[in-house]
Amino acid sequence: MTECNKKLVCPIETVAPLLPHSGRMVLLDRITAYGDDFLEAEAEIRPDHILLEQGVLPCLSGAEIMAQGIAALAGCRAVNAGEPVRLGFLLGSRKLNVFADVLPVGSRLKIEVRASTQDGSGFGVFDCRLLCVSVPPSWTGRLPPDGVVLAAALNVYSPKADSDGLSGGQ
């Protein structure tokens, strides 16, 4: 499935309302596709990116970007159901594979998340990939040919109700 469904129409250029984040912590630039169990998004590494270290993005920071893809999928589901966007928590990862050390400013990223399993209590496992689809010319040939720089199964939890005092906020 490569098209959006329900109320939201892709591309979604304003991602912040779908996330329990604001300001510089919004790491996704746009959602290009989503469905019941998947989401694809794009992000660009800019000079003011909050996760930069010494002018480059450590690929391990990509786990937060992928987790934000999961949060964006949950946000799409919430908006389509007329519900508020809720907080979610990255609990851990399995099958974490890092194929590059760092990414330069100016790189464009593709984020892919797909639900592997979810239960009614808010726990879920998502298969995620972070791909670098373009880099500055000086970096050509320095990253994996298939573009995949990080892949993992991310374990997440999102409380189903605000009964414990947890809610997302803008």
Helix (H) or strand (E) segment spanning residue 74? helix 62-81
Domain contains 137: yes
Domain interval for residue 119:
16-164
Q: Could you tell me the two tokens for 4?
A: 């959006």
Q: For residue 162, what pLDDT is reported? A: 53
Number of independent structural domains in the chain? 1
Q: Could you tell me the two tokens for 24?
A: 């510089």
Domain contains 2: no
Tell me: the pLDDT tens digits for 22-32?
999 999 999 99
Domain contains 130: yes
CATH assignment at residue 21? 3.10.129.10
Domain contains 169: no
Average pLDDT over residues 76-81: 95
Contacts of 2 (CB under 8 A, 6+ apart): 33, 40
Q: Is the pTM of this model over 0.85?
A: yes
Confidence of residue 120 (pLDDT cuts 50, 70, 90): confident
Half-sphere exposure of 86 (CA within 13 A, CB side): 20
Domain contains 66: yes
Domain contains 152: yes
DSSP letters along 116-163, please?
Answer: EEE-TTSEEEEEEEEEEEE--GGGTTSS-TT-EEEEEEEEEE--SSGG
Confidence of residue 160 (pLDDT cuts 50, 70, 90): confident
Average pLDDT over residues 132-141: 95
pLDDT at 59 over 60: yes
Rounded CA separation 170/25 (Å): 11
CA end-to-end span of the chain: 30
Domain contains 69: yes
Average pLDDT for the chain:
92
Domain contains 6: no
pLDDT at 17 over 60: yes
pLDDT at 154 over 60: yes
